[in-house]
Structure 1
Amino acid sequence: NITIYGKTGTGKTAAAKFAREQLIEAARDKPVTLSVEYVRCTDFNTEYQVLTYLCQKLGREVPNRGWTKGEIVNAFRDVLKRNVFGRNRILIVILDEVDILLEKDGDGLLYTLTRTDNIAILSISNYLNFKQFIKPRVASSLMDKEIVFPPYDAEQLADILNERSELAFYENTLEDSVIPLCSAMAAKEEGDARYALDLLESAGDIAIDKGSEKVLGQYVREAKDVIEYNKVKDVIVTLPTQQQRVLAAILRLTQEGEEITSGKLFEAYKEISKGDAVTYRRIFDFVNELEMLGIISTNTVSKGRAKGRTNIISLQIDTDLLEENLYSVL
């Protein structure tokens, strides 16, 4: 079993899929039937969903809901026990973003897979601490080799973009500064190759929209603004209503020039919620989640012995951009 760690855009999924093709090719001349199944845990985030998907991929029709856990586990193991044309079956399961499944559903899937013969697990996660969701007995059965994918540097990103640009653009349509700019910007974003490719693609789209025969360096800078705008918009419109209200309260206090303490935030939030407010304690959960998304930051400061310590909350994104997107969904 193998676990791959690394930040977004460091090639974890691409490497796993490349390895899958190599493994399938290597097994063609071996006396086994090898299946390598890729599971995106954002789409299948419970043990039942994953086992149902694997059964169906291996040729066993099972219902998407309605069976007990024991029934779906038995069906899955029964499929693996069957020989295919007299050859043993080996299954490799790639669990991409496994931390999402573990956080939602616990380690039941890993328990089942590690206790089923002829299975290897390749887990992929953005987070080094995802194993906090795995019980010791399951972790000891997993016995995985851990591989860390470091972020790409600017030179590596440039190599990736040069290769892709030859496929995407006509010759001599990129200004010399375009790829170095995309690479440098993406290197600052923790070496995210996906971000570098998005920049290049968006810059190309801007060139088309402007009727330009070349992609210019200035279009990369414009592309950065477009991507940041869309990213914030996507985050805001998908937030639960109560979190949107908390964010609206922070925006209002920021625009009024207020120092945003937890108490002031709660009062502003209650005004916006108009009787449909959650508890003061729940507000802290929302604030922590918004901070994890990079929308706000918090700083604990001392107000002296009499008043103790308090959290000061600050916006980390442009207020105009936030207002435009926030009030379109409230």
Structure 2
Amino acid sequence: MHCSKQTRLESICLEGLSLTPDERVRLLLALYNSRKTMKYVHCWRAFEKMVSLAGDADYHGESRFYADKRIKICDWFRAIGCLEFLTTLSVNYAYIATPTGDLLVSLAKKLRTNWHWLQLLCLEEEILQKTQNGHDIETIVIPDAAWRTTHFWAPKLKVQYAIIGIPQYDVHKKFFTKQTRIHTFALSTSINLRFRQPWYLDCTIKTLCAWYSNSLVYLCLQLWHNRQNLDNQLRHLFIYLPSLRFFEFVGEIRTLKTLCAICCQIRSGRCNVHRVNMQLQDVIHDSSDKEKWIKCVRCMMLCFKHDFDRMGVKFDINFYCC
């Protein structure tokens, strides 16, 4: 393996390779000679589909995965743990989740202040499994106490979430706890033409505001074809998230009043947001003229343009048909 001959590698990307667990562990162990320089390891979707990590020897929970494809936590930790100066780790949530959170805590104890970023890809099929009756059964999630301990040992650690294809709040809340120090939260509901609603996205937003007001810096909400009125939550979002600096939004805003309130908060300095990118869908619950709505939004933004330019604020709005 060529990387085993390298001694000063700084970054490796295994994303989407669909490696078997044993292949991935061997690859990481081959990086041992670069353990003093390796800082960035990106592993989203690196394991083959339907492969899970085994728990401790005493953990005998039911598994939907084939037993001969499971690897022990100690093998996984030995592979990652040898990279003692690692600063950034990108993994699927399922790769690092254990019933007690011991794998996460062990990494924190090993990496300590060197560990700055944990980037988690969250997929519904990795946290929920279907019974024969079609009911969801929750699999392994990281407990709140483990997150608290992790941040104690790795005080500089910031967590970035990418939750893909999951519109429901009931599933979102399984991936994080109050003690998770979330810096970036990117949520995409994906395009779901079955319209199984309500999604209770207002609860997701309320949770972010209540738990992460001092840590959340980047928020991306891609709410494709959302049918829920979120104007009230969006109108107060920037005030309730004083650390927020970047906001991306795809979805529906129903009133000009909501957009105006957001702009006024930025202009008055009541929040710290300086970059906004919106793609607004048609207001499907209003029979008013779509062209008139777009024209009103653009005229309103012109009123704020001079102040935003002076403040160095970049605020872009585009439109798409629902």
Q: Which has the higher helix share?
A: 1
Q: Please state which band the TM-score falls in when normalised by the shorter chain.
A: under 0.3
Q: TM-score, normalised by structure 2?
A: 0.25
Q: Which has the higher strand share?
A: 2
| Structure possessing the higher relative contact order (Cα contacts under 8 Å, 6 or more residues apart) | 1
